[in-house]
Chains A and B, each alone.
Chain A
């Protein structure tokens, strides 16, 4: 209640009264600097309505950069439909960046990498799990946390080689017979993805 003190006075001074506001259990205690500036600016202009919450209120804060290189890399692999890996501790990941396959170890320099369709391999001890990604972004932070955001990711053993060959032939044919730029671009994308799939299955 004491923390609400100044806010309480402000609401008393303004014309409408908000009434008694219960302290919810879900209220997070710490507001970051950007948030409090926003909240203050909001209260000045619109005192009657509560300010909207912002995404950082719903997120657990990330760990700070440690002084020594940690032994494990924390990986989050997220898709629009599910989080495949979240907070998994691994030894190394190899991501298919547009500039080529990039290996990420704990203590890697902070990077933002654009991904092309290709294989992501996650190495933990002696286990290697491979996923075929359709493209996206990968962020490596200085605190040895890697976020990989892709649109689709399938384990490699779930890909059917016959369909891949069929798709590749189909898109190559479309590329040859394409007339407008849009069709050419679409066919080119199809060819790229299917060749990458092919390489993933064979390589």
Chain B
């Protein structure tokens, strides 16, 4: 987004200087740059405008390079954590299966996004998928609510789905992510929201340039029992003996809460990795773009400078020849 704005701005300001007819640069530079100076009678053409532009572009390039380094170091730190936690959700999927197409009355979509911007398109992707899931699961007698983590998704979803937002959490990344914080958050959500199915939407980190939008589904214990009776993937659940707790439903309740917190922990780590990776590549293309703009501006600067030198020479020589002849 930053690089698109830079490109647009560059074209707007550089347009009068970089002309479509390079064969008569003299006339164009005389005509466009510094009309106010010609009015005052000053003959030399000022290169000040181009120089200012170059200074600001150079500063932007330095800033984006620094941001890229910062994002790279943060990514390294959080990537090891995410890889270590990837075994956490697998036992639950092995036991309870993966049922994204489950049909329930109360859906809650938990959208995970970042607080800070300049991270490419990952937040827009998450919001698009959330809206898609909302559309898929809306209908008569079915309701679909949002729980939003992160400033960016909140800003986008509050525009058109304000009444569907149950809870919103921001400033989650002030302290490094750890399981206790996520467990408390999960507890908060489970206590305040009625749900039959929770769908968590996040970006899974595949590599520094590839982020895949993913959705994990966590079912409430009543729905789990219903699906187990109905057969299909969860049908084998009845064959499992339950140890501990007084009743099966109590254990299933604990299981659901534990599953939700584990899946959330992994999802938040993966999303944080994707955010840093996306920011790295966005800042990288921004620096490269600033470098290109700087090259173009340097050429224009040199052309303008040479044109003004040539003009002065011509004036001097024509003045001298007028005196002689």
Q: Are A and B subunits of one complex? A: yes
- Chain A residues packing against B (C-beta within 8 Å): 26, 32-35, 37-38, 41-42, 45-46, 49-56, 58-59, 62, 76, 78-83, 86, 97-99, 102, 109-116, 136-137, 139, 141-142, 145, 147, 149, 151
With A and B bound together, what is the CA distance between A151 and B262 in angstroms? 10
Residues of B within 8 A of A115 (CB): 244
Stretch in B68-76, B81-89, B189-197, B289-297 with 4+ CB within 8 Å of A: B81-89
B321 interface residue (CB < 8 Å to A): no
List which B72-112 residues lie within 8 A (CB) of chain A.
81, 84-85, 87-95, 97-101
Residue in contact with A52 in the complex, picked from B84, B87, B201, B240, CB distance below 8 Å: B201
Task: Determine whether the beta carbon of A111 is less than 8 Å from that of B87.
Answer: no
Stretch in B208-216, B299-307, B311-319 with 4+ CB within 8 Å of A: B208-216
B179 interface residue (CB < 8 Å to A): yes
B145 interface residue (CB < 8 Å to A): no
Residues of B within 8 A of A114 (CB): 243-245, 251, 254-255
Minimum-distance CB pairs A-B, first 7: A147-B91, A114-B244, A98-B244, A56-B98, A113-B243, A38-B101, A83-B87
For residue B93, which residue of chain A has the nearest CB?
A: A55
Task: Determine whether the beta carbon of B239 is less than 8 Å from that of A142.
Answer: yes
**15 other contacts beyond A54-B98, A102-B243, A116-B244, with CB at 8 A cut-off?**
A35-B98, A37-B101, A41-B101, A52-B133, A52-B212, A53-B212, A58-B204, A59-B93, A78-B90, A80-B179, A82-B84, A109-B241, A114-B251, A147-B95, A149-B258
Residue in contact with B135 in the complex, picked from A45, A78, A97, CB distance below 8 Å: A45
With A and B bound together, what is the CA distance between A28 and B293 in angstroms? 42
With A and B bound together, what is the CA distance between A113 and B91 in angstroms? 13
Interface size class of B (residues with CB under 8 A): 35 or more
Residues of A within 8 A of B254 (CB): 114, 137
- Chain B residues packing against A (C-beta within 8 Å): 81, 84-85, 87-95, 97-101, 128-129, 132-133, 135-136, 179, 201, 204, 206, 212-217, 232-233, 236, 239-245, 251, 254-255, 258, 262, 265
Assuming the A-B contacts A55-B214, A114-B243, are A34 and B251 also in contact, with contact meaning beta carbons closer than 8 angstroms in the complex?
no
Give min CB distance, B278 to chain A, whole Å.
Answer: 17
Residues of B within 8 A of A78 (CB): 87-88, 90-91
Task: Determine whether the beta carbon of A110 is less than 8 Å from that of B240.
Answer: yes
Assuming the A-B contacts A52-B214, A76-B91, A141-B95, are A38 and B100 also in contact, with contact meaning beta carbons closer than 8 angstroms in the complex?
yes
